[in-house]
Structure 1
């Protein structure tokens, strides 16, 4: 078969047909014949051997051998200008040296020039799908180790090529073959996934300096690869937004809020049309059952209206069923790129890329001034909506979480090993939005999590004390304590219940009686809730929490939902000062244990979690599941684990894991800086 006919075959395969393995109603496309080119750049022959090994793995795969032919090519011998016409799937296995090597011409003599040549179109390689595996020696200087392979991975993407899988690393000093086989296994999985057969090139815009204009402090934003697909796998809207970016869609949120008000007014209007005594108007009929007044109960309605659904999905939420949601946290993206974990890693030992953030109830009983959703989520004081099955919600949450993780494979810098690990959820943060404990089957939902050995971190807004009392064992149970007085709580949380303060206090009493691992969450808002420390002491004495998380509020932009500004956001040293004053008033029972300066967060812990002068705020998760499965009573002290030295309050790391690489946000005219273990 000629090269031209191969290209024609590939083109036809990408545009025609359905995959019979998926069923007749499947919308994904079938690749009836594709060509894979495996390029290698080698000095000692190792890269060539691994390239041949990859070709062999594809040829021996029971599914892939029917769809793909492979070709192993020395990148030195390939005419680089042909990459502009290339439509094959391309894998690059490249050696990295701190001396002149065979890949120098390809990397710096051609690809780099093409990337920074203003005459070359920024989508010049958009027909290529690719992945890169680098071979190197960690004994080299850090700036030389994997330099060339990561540059190739980055520049191919910036020239429009679609990344199939994160770049892999093969360290000569750390079982290089094992690392290669793990990366190759991910490649085979991607190629055998029918959903990958639909080709969607990158669409990235660049500024005058050649930088991605959609880049935030964590790098290039994820494109919406699923937009327009019939299976709905993509994120709704044009982009995936972090919580901190919600202010950019304030006008759309405002529209959703206005629409929500109209819907509520229409509902109230329909209620006013009923008879004064609340019964339905007289029905017409001759039977005895039709005489007189009858009441026809309305069927339960959907919690999320179409407009609210659109507003929430625009913010990056995936809606599950009629009242649940899941979203990828920005720390998940950061962890996948080796740029650090969230505060829960520092405080409790959670790795963000293994954590799913979800809620079985988008509705809430508060309208907090610092709400991240700007009140686009529903509100209510009693459950009046349809109820979805807990197993259906969990399955939907996990599937959508994995779909969003899958989209991140095209983000520059994503580590192959972490990308693969991310498809095994180990933690669930039930704190996304709304009031998770509001869901009628919350205990069954948490039980399902534990059966899958997924830890549960549940946050409640302290307005449902009966639900707290009924709550079974969770890994960690939070209560939001946003103010210390009735007046301040009303001002900052804006609760819907008239007896909100009584409910709040009763919730703290219920928490105290739980006998499990409990946390108070304090969100500090300057000029709202940073005073009256003595009242906070009383509330802490009432609930007796194991831990107290104190975090500065995150400003999410103006939308009309509140009048907060950046002036209401405290600095980290101000949060520390608040905690020091609070601990002094609490006495010997509590001390500051940890901090995460990046999140402006401080952890105050009960001294029960301090043994022989060392803190044990982390969690032994396997021990927790063993205790749950034993069906015997246990306490928080039975599954605690030692806090790492770098996570203890007052050390130089400030709660940042030294194994990670800190990324400093680009300022205008500056270049982003990465610093190891800082």
Structure 2
């Protein structure tokens, strides 16, 4: 019996194994995992070693392993801070505390010690000695005006200078920052100047040398000496070696161009241009000595480096990226501003039946239109505006930078003779009574039908506009390609376009502000939206009066301008009648902005009716400019609404024909294809023989004689637009010629010359 049980035991064990093997395996695995975790936790919680003490083999002491920070403290021989006992961190986000370091007194250059004086170094190169004479003359000028902060200059001949001493690293002297001035002629033969330029090239591309080894300089500026008789343009060779030196110095200094590169023709204007450049460089060095620094471009108007002037596609990694350029590339989180048009007006309440006089019925005092703490102020300043007072503003136009760089002025130069770098764009009222679909400032500028804000005095506005404009112009001195002579000219405002944003005529003291402009011989171009007939009727003298005519009928005007006034069409028609009366005292202009899908198709006849009603002196027809913002898309505008120039030409020809059918003799006086803008003018008033030519041939006279305007204004006698008609419209601005200034060069988005075929 026992033998039988023994024989059955393996079978029972095998049966039990097959029956419960899953539970057995899971239990074994669980026990093994618990054992491994226990060993692991024990190692983590007891990071310590046992070290026997001397002469006491039986007693032992725990010694903690020194941390990495303590080991570094011993290795680097510095006094490590006392270790605090470990405490359990509190739940929640980590709080970072610290103290703000105070900035040392005095200006700094590239993060070095405080600077107390500027040391100019004048480098020149010459073969015949003429450039040396100009360098000595420049040094004498700076020596005569030397101060404790701007020292007398040193003159160095590049042919006798060791390049590594000055162009491999910037000179170092305690409390002194160096400013390089380079006077360079241009030769079409091999000279040491070519070796100097090659050295700058090699220094920039040498991987062993820092990308911007001359960043310790306070700044630099280059003046080129050339001959326009032999080499008329830069493409032909005029001052090309100076241009190349300016480009390499910009890379080696980390874009520290202190003043725009100057150029002079040895056969005509060299001494005058050198004198202008000297005055500009002197003012920059004075600013540096006072700690004002160099300008790096204007926010909202493009960075200092653009159009690949100093950043080629294959050299993106070679240019030092400063903290300011990094901050510009960060996406800006714009403050949200409510659309005031969508806010419902409060229900009117009649207080005439009130028996008691309550303090609640007293109207609240007026508030600033754009207070500094408002999202509107933040949004506008981020877009590049300088807010003047509580309701005015000034901003640099993109055409100003274009004109400073010799890349063309806006249509006002072709039509009326206004150079963009002499023009200030401003407004005394940021508020408007329309919300046009093509407006660039959707949701940022305030809107309203009546003036309900505080009113700043006109002298405060005028002074603030000039100060803000000049400050922005000075910040453009480091922009690549800025011409020194135009930069100097831009420091004297000659024209003011009151058309920035909002409604300038809305300002209660607009006539006083215009008088202040005219007293300083600054011409005035005022733009209104034909929604304020009372202010238009009382408007005083103005050089040119614009009225925006964005639609030819009531329904189109409602869709395009989206006016806030309920009687907007009646106001619009009253303004047309007032313009008809003012055509003998004011130079009036209709401004038509064409938006495809809104006001182009079959509306030439309607516009002709409005011209017949108001009889303006000029009619400007311009294609809309798409700003590319989400707000514009929300208003129903996209790139498909931007007409091509051929479509604008077709519309203008149709409008001209419609005017002729009504017996109105308007003709095409000028065009500016670059702005997609064409000018129609009254032929009887502005197409006549020139008094200066004497040939009796009739020509268009769309330009303005600004000196004559101020003479007539100061005489006190009545005068009209015909009394300050200027010279004949230049041939290059006439219909079919394109309208681009031949003195300048049209470029594409990459800064390359652009050839445009004119039909």
Output the TM-score relative to the length of structure 1: 0.83
Matched position secondary structure for 1:170? strand
CA distance in 1, matches of 2:203, 2:748: 27
Shift of 1:37: 1.1
1:604 aligns with 2:680: yes
1:528 aligns with 2:601: no
2:408 to 304, 327, 340: 340
- Match in the other structure for 1:55: 139
Matched position secondary structure for 1:421? helix
- Match in the other structure for 1:3: none
Change (3 A) 1:154 1:281: farther
Residues 397-416 of structure 1: pairs in structure 2 closer than 5 A? 397-416=465-484
Shift of 1:589: 1.6
Given that 1:572 and 1:597 are in contact with CA atoms closer than 8 Å, whether structure 2 keeps it comes out as yes
1:661 aligns with 2:745: yes
CA distance in 2, matches of 1:132, 1:677: 35
Given that 2:118 and 2:149 are in contact with CA atoms closer than 8 Å, whether structure 1 keeps it comes out as no
Given that 2:415 and 2:670 are in contact with CA atoms closer than 8 Å, whether structure 1 keeps it comes out as yes
Matched position secondary structure for 2:250? helix
2:628 to 554, 557, 562: 557
Change (3 A) 1:533 1:304: same
Report Cα offsets for 1:440-466 as digits up to 9, x if no partner: 000000011110100000000000011
- Match in the other structure for 1:124: 213
1:544 aligns with 2:648: no
CA distance in 2, matches of 1:118, 1:656: 44
Please identify the structure whose Cα radius of gyration is greater: 2
Residues 240-255 of structure 1: pairs in structure 2 closer than 5 A? 252=333, 255=335
User: Which is worse superposed, 173-182 or 468-477?
Assistant: 173-182
CA distance in 2, matches of 1:43, 1:662: 35
Residues 378-457 of structure 1: pairs in structure 2 closer than 5 A? 378-457=446-525
Residues 154-173 of structure 1: pairs in structure 2 closer than 5 A? 154-159=247-252, 160-173=254-267
CA distance in 1, matches of 2:148, 2:244: 31
- Match in the other structure for 1:81: 164
1:641 aligns with 2:748: no
Two-structure CA RMSD over aligned residues (Å) = 3.3
2:643 to 570, 583, 605: 570
Change (3 A) 1:200 1:594: closer
Shift of 1:113: 2.9
Shift of 1:194: 6.4
Residues 217-256 of structure 1: pairs in structure 2 closer than 5 A? 238=328, 252=333, 255-256=335-336
- Match in the other structure for 1:46: 130
Given that 2:106 and 2:291 are in contact with CA atoms closer than 8 Å, whether structure 1 keeps it comes out as no
Structure 2 gap segments, 5+ residues each:
1-102, 171-176, 297-303, 690-697
Matched position secondary structure for 1:477? strand
User: Which is worse superposed, 188-197 or 31-40?
Assistant: 188-197
2:200 to 102, 111, 132: 111
Given that 2:745 and 2:753 are in contact with CA atoms closer than 8 Å, whether structure 1 keeps it comes out as no
- Match in the other structure for 1:483: 551
Matched position secondary structure for 1:527? coil
Matched position secondary structure for 1:130? strand
Report Cα offsets for 1:20-69 as digits up to 9, x if no partner: xxxxxxxxx995333221111111122222222222212111x5365314
Structure 1 gap segments, 5+ residues each:
1-13, 20-28, 215-220, 228-236, 240-247, 283-289
How many residues are matched?
609
- Match in the other structure for 2:53: none
Given that 2:107 and 2:291 are in contact with CA atoms closer than 8 Å, whether structure 1 keeps it comes out as no
Given that 1:280 and 1:293 are in contact with CA atoms closer than 8 Å, whether structure 2 keeps it comes out as no
Shift of 1:101: 1.9
CA distance in 1, matches of 2:637, 2:278: 50
Change (3 A) 1:65 1:172: farther
Residues 189-228 of structure 1: pairs in structure 2 closer than 5 A? 189-193=283-287, 197-199=291-293, 206=311, 209-210=314-315
CA distance in 2, matches of 1:178, 1:292: 72
Change (3 A) 1:641 1:563: same
CA distance in 2, matches of 1:316, 1:345: 24
1:295 aligns with 2:361: yes
Output the TM-score relative to the length of structure 2: 0.75
